[in-house]
Amino acid sequence: MTTVTAVRGDITEERVDAIVNAANNGMRGGGGVDGAIHRAGGPAVLEDCIARFPDGLATGDAGWTTAGDLPARWVIHTVGPNFAAGERDRSLLESCYRRVLEVADELGARSVAFPLISAGVYGWPRADAIEAAVATIAATRTRVEEVRLVAFDDAVHRQMQAVVLRLFRPPTGAGTVGSLFDRDVAQWGLRGDPYVWRALRARFADTPLPTDWFSLRSLLTRAVEEVIGTPLTSAADAVYLPEFDPGHGMSAGAVSPAWWAQTGIPILLDRQAALADPPSPPEPPTGPEPPDA
């Protein structure tokens, strides 16, 4: 099973089997991620590009070279569509992710780090670029065990993480705070609240349950306030968080502090209480003793 995580960092420093380069058709280096990978990898990357891709590479396709001085074994190059130049066929963007994973399987790579393809100077709208990346990886059969989606800044990282957590639920251990979030609630407050729920589930996946109700309430309250950036006692009806807005209309990205204070956290506290005090087994039926055989 493939695990997918959103990572905040510099893709040229990722220690994985293969780093993905958002290349151009010419395959001779360029700006942005392309230029950074060529600089960090050294001349060996360009030399291999010239040897392997004398005629360049088609949009939506992928191919590999040595990683040179990078802390990876291979660079898998892929050419995303240039939205700003009129290349707006989403299937080409999806093809980039599929082809990279196919090349990774051919190489035997088990860990791959992707940048967000086409969302830089090529101008693909960021929210849709993230959706295309995560959904395509989720739908592609591959032997790659670990995929990292690497964001260079905090805003992109938060937005990536929200989509990743929607489609890839990290495992939670028994007796952890994260396990309290395994079952979604019947009714949310606003449309951003499910994203907060999933973010907290991931945060607490390995955190042991506190032994008392007060400690758990304090832990959950602090965590929710950290994620939404406001106290749960706030008078605000809603807090807008752009990373939880998939662009689907009314209340997208809106989180309700009141729902968390009055509904979300009490549900989680009830679940802890049920774990601490499971229902007793039913009493055996009463009545006359059966006659001896």
Catalytic residues, by residue number, are 34
* Distance (Å, whole) CA 97 – CA 89: 14
Strands across the sheet with 62-66, in order?
3-8, 146-151, 111-114, 18-23, 74-79, 62-66
Contact indicator for 43, 76 with CB cutoff of 8 Å: no
Read off φ and ψ for residue 81, nearest 5 degrees: -70, 145
* Distance (Å, whole) CA 12 – CA 110: 18
Candidates 146, 149, 147, 165; CA nearest to 243 is 165
Candidates 49, 39, 95, 47; CA nearest to 76 is 49
Q: Enumerate the H helices of 43-171 as residue ranges.
A: 43-52, 90-107, 126-139, 154-167
Q: Which residues contact 162 (CB under 8 A, 6 or more apart)?
A: 195, 198, 199, 243, 244, 246
Query: Hunting for tokens 């360049």 — which residue is that?
Result: 56
3-state secondary structure of 111: strand
